């Protein structure tokens, strides 16, 4: 307490100090003083969503349900990817506070069951706690209400994946991707669902897009899923690199990420996680040419993709690049050149890839 008080005296207009001090006071049962500091913090900086979460929790403790709902809405408007139950990692590691949050939301929904945002938060929190029977109806109610779209669809997709229903999950993620094409999570989820269904090359296209869209949203999981997709497609070097990158996000997964980093037989050019740079790639930067070829193929420019991938394979930047062969095969097929598509697939198989 003394440290908070000293910090508040030194920088009385620093919103983080007031926010954290207010949250700590509320946790100690000093709700009146805690709320005073939280209100000051939200005045100093109304765009810090953590302050609004803390205010919502404090208002719930005081029985002020309308004020709590208002604070929750303010938080979610600031950052749609920051959810009421914080720390979401594909519902793998639930925040210890989730059980308490779920009961708070249950109480709110008992007063107003038509509150769509509350249903969405309740469903997502129940999913974190693996209470599937409670999560599904709440998320379906939120979808019907159009609340927080497309997140209820994304969370339902995660639920379907967990239950082994890859087709249902893919449909939900596809709908979410159509509704919010600039959001990374639906593409990552659909890629994982396609991987579950045994279609690693289609999964790679979605996971590449997810990793291109947002460097923050679910990046560790997208890297993990892409490592698994590349491994399934026989692209061992890429699987190695993605697994190593995912390990930096989730070191506690080392026991089963490490096997993905073993058994690499020979190097070939890979699509890295680096964003596309403006202008032409450097002459001998094979990964950049492959990356641009893949992007062109995803955008429907099969002729442009063919040009970039042929540069890699036939101008000796990396004539054994398996990813370039697989992608160029798809480009040939899109241009109705079945013979050339078959030739590239045969070269990929000769390199040891199962396609």
**Three-state SS sequence of 76-143:** HHHCCCCCCCCCCCCCCCCCCCHHHHHHHHHHHHHHCCCCHHHHHHHHHHHHHCCCHHHHHHHHHHHH
Distance between first and last Cα of the chain? 62
How sure is the predictor about 142, in pLDDT bands with cuts at 50, 70 and 90? very high
The confidence band for 284, taking pLDDT boundaries of 50, 70 and 90, is low
- Give the Cα-Cα-Cα angle 290, 180, 187 (nearest 5 degrees): 40
pLDDT of 274 strictly over 70: no
* Tokens at 80, concatenated: 């749609």
pTM here?
0.56
- In percent, the amount of the chain with pLDDT more than 70 equals 79
The confidence band for 283, taking pLDDT boundaries of 50, 70 and 90, is low
Once rounded to an integer, what is the mean pLDDT over residues 310-332?
75
Q: What is the pLDDT of residue 102?
A: 81
- For residue 163, give both structure tokens: 């239950």
Give residue 74's pLDDT.
80
Q: Is 266 a residue whose pLDDT tops 50?
A: no
Q: Which of 88-102, 264-278, 329-343 has the highest mean pLDDT?
A: 329-343
CA angle (185 as vertex; 200, 139 as ends), nearest 5: 115
Read off the pLDDT of each residue in 177-196 and give the average, rounded to a whole number: 92
Using CA atoms, how far apart are residues 269 and 5, in angstroms rounded to an integer?
Answer: 56
- Choose the weakest-confidence range: 26-35, 200-209, 259-268, 283-292: 259-268
Rounded Cα gap, residues 325 and 347, in angstroms: 7
Q: What's residue 254's pLDDT?
A: 65
**Does 345 have pLDDT greater than 80?**
yes
Residues 6+ apart with CB under 8 A from 278: none
Distance CA 124, CA 134 (A): 10
Residue 281 reports pLDDT greater than 80: no
Instruction: Evaluate if residue 272 carries a pLDDT over 80.
Output: no
């Amino acid at each position: 307490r003394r440290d908070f008080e000293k910090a508040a005296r030194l920088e009385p207009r620093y919103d983080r100090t007031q926010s954290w001090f207010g949250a700590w006071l509320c946790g100690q049962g000093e709700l009146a003083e805690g709320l005073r500091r939280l209100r000051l913090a939200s005045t100093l900086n109304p765009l810090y969503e953590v302050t609004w979460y803390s205010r919502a929790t404090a208002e719930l403790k005081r029985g002020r349900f309308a004020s709590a709902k208002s604070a929750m809405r303010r938080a979610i408007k600031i950052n749609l990817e920051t959810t009421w139950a914080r720390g979401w990692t594909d519902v793998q590691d639930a925040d210890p506070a989730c059980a308490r949050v779920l009961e708070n939301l249950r109480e709110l929904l008992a007063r107003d069951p038509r509150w769509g945002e509350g249903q969405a938060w309740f469903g997502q929190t129940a999913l974190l706690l693996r209470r599937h029977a409670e999560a599904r109806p709440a998320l379906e109610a939120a979808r019907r209400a159009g609340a927080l779209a497309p997140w209820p669809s994304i969370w339902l997709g995660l639920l379907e994946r967990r239950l082994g229903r890859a087709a249902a999950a893919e449909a939900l993620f596809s709908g979410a991707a159509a509704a919010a094409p600039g959001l990374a999570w639906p593409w990552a989820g659909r890629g994982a669902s396609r991987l579950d269904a045994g279609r690693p090359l289609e999964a790679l296209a979605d996971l590449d897009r997810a990793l291109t869209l947002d460097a923050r949203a679910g990046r560790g999981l997208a890297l993990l899923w892409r490592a698994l997709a590349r491994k399934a497609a026989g692209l061992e070097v890429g699987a190695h690199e993605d697994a190593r990158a995912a390990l930096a996000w989730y070191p506690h997964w080392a026991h089963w990420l490490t096997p993905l980093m073993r058994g690499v037989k020979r190097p070939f050019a890979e699509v890295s996680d680096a964003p596309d740079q403006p202008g032409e790639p450097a002459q001998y930067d094979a990964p950049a040419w492959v990356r641009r070829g893949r992007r062109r193929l995803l955008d429907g420019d099969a002729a442009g993709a063919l040009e970039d991938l042929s540069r890699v394979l036939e101008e000796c930047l990396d004539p054994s690049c398996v990813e370039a062969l697989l992608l160029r095969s798809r480009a040939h097929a899109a241009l109705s050149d079945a013979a050339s598509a078959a030739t590239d697939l045969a070269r990929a198989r000769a390199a040891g890839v199962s396609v």
